[in-house]
């Protein structure tokens, strides 16, 4: 089994989900009391979130590169970055280490292609929805078009992520708001919906909607296990 290196803490609420899914998947495949061989370097999300909203991506790049190097020195065979937003800095991470980074957009694209879809909605932080590092990669490399919510909807999604979900707060009215946005995007032509923030799956699952969901946390974690066991 290869050693999985996880850059976590963004937020720790979703990093817990990564760890749980990875271990459950390893146990399901190998049986018995098997669990994942892994390392996690978990950052202080308070510092990360502040730098994000200050727009200090240079400093954030340094922090992500440092985390990746710590995992490489610790013996990780590859890295997964347990967040969508910080994939904006995937190049910085890849340039800082010799081991591979498993990009969240690429594995999500694989799942979308398996459903023969070409146009999907993208929910996430404002950084993820408005900037090109995720949706641009999906389009240019994988030929997948993304639809994003309108400005007011993006503000609502972003606020709920940072004020509630990263703190483990789950509110029914917030779930209702997300579901209304999802329904609107489906009506606008989205064939499925990318839950493009690793905390959104804490709020939205197929228990609450018939929309086809691509939970990036689950997809990414399962891919990590596949990589570890091959």
pLDDT in tens, 66-93: 999 999 999 999 999 999 999 999 999 9
What total number of domains does the chain contain?
A: 2
Q: CA-CA distance, 136 to 18, in Å (whole number)? A: 25
Tell me the CA end-to-end span of the chain in Å, nearest whole number.
Answer: 8
- Shared domain check, 113 and 154: yes
- pLDDT at position 2, please? 98
Q: Are 77 and 17 contained in the same domain? A: yes
Are 155 and 75 members of one domain?
no
Q: Judge whether 101 and 90 are in contact, CB under 8 Å.
A: yes
Query: 126 with 199, same domain?
Result: yes
Contact 112, 154 (CB under 8 A): no
The answer to whether 145 and 119 have CB atoms below 8 angstroms apart is: yes
* 150 and 189 inside one domain: yes
* Strand, helix or coil for residue 171: coil
How many CA atoms lie less than 13 Å away from 87 in the CB half-sphere? 32
Tokens describing residue 181:
């946005």
Which structural domain range is residue 80 located in?
A: 4-103+219-228
Sheet holding 213-215, edge to edge: 145-147, 119-123, 192-195, 213-215
Do 95 and 165 sit in the same domain of this protein?
no
What does the pLDDT profile of the chain (230 residues) look like in tens digits? 999 999 999 999 999 999 999 999 999 999 999 999 999 999 999 999 999 999 999 999 999 999 999 999 999 999 999 999 999 999 999 999 999 999 999 999 999 999 999 999 999 999 999 999 999 999 999 999 999 999 999 999 999 999 999 999 999 999 999 999 999 999 999 999 999 999 999 999 999 999 999 999 999 999 999 999 99
Mind telling me the catalytic residues? 83, 197
Cβ atoms of 196 and 123 closer than 8 Å: yes
| Burial zone of 83 (CB within 10 Å; 0-12 exposed, 13-18 middle, 19+ buried) | buried
Q: What's the pTM?
A: 0.94
Same domain for 18 and 115: no
* 24/58 same-domain check: yes
Q: Are 119 and 144 contacting, i.e. CB atoms less than 8 angstroms apart?
A: yes
Residue 117 and residue 209 in one domain: yes
Statement to judge: residues 88 and 110 lie in one domain: no
Domain CATH number, residue 205:
3.40.50.1860
Q: What local confidence, expressed as pLDDT, does residue 212 receive?
A: 98
Instruction: Looking at the structure, tell me whether residues 149 and 88 fall in a common domain.
Output: no
| Model pLDDT, residue 76 | 98
The answer to whether residues 115 and 87 belong to one domain is no
Do residues 230 and 198 touch, judged by C-beta distance below 8 A?
A: no
Rounded to 5 degrees, what are φ and ψ at 112? -65, -40
- By CB atoms closer than 10 A (0-12, 13-18, 19+), residue 69 is middle
């Amino acid at each position: 089994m290869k050693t999985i290196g996880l850059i976590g803490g963004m937020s720790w609420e979703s990093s817990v989900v990564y760890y749980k899914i990875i271990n459950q998947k390893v146990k399901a495949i190998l049986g018995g009391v098997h669990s994942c061989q892994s390392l996690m370097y978990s950052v202080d999300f308070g510092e990360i979130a502040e730098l994000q909203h200050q727009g200090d991506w240079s400093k954030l790049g340094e922090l992500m590169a440092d985390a990746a190097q710590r995992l490489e020195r610790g013996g990780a065979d590859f890295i997964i970055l347990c967040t969508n937003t910080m994939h904006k800095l995937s190049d910085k991470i890849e340039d800082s280490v010799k081991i591979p980074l498993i990009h969240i957009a690429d594995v999500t694209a694989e799942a979308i292609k398996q459903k023969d879809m070409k146009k999907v909605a993208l929910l996430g932080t404002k950084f993820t929805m408005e900037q090109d590092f995720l949706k641009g990669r999906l389009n240019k490399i994988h030929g997948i078009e993304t639809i994003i919510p309108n400005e007011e909807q993006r503000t609502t999604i972003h606020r709920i992520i940072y004020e509630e979900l990263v703190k483990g707060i789950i509110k029914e009215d917030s779930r209702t708001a997300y579901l209304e946005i999802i329904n609107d995007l489906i009506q606008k032509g989205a064939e499925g919906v990318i839950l493009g923030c690793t905390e959104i799956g804490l709020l939205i699952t197929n228990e609450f909607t018939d929309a086809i969901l691509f939970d990036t946390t689950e997809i990414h974690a399962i891919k990590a296990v596949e990589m570890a066991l091959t």
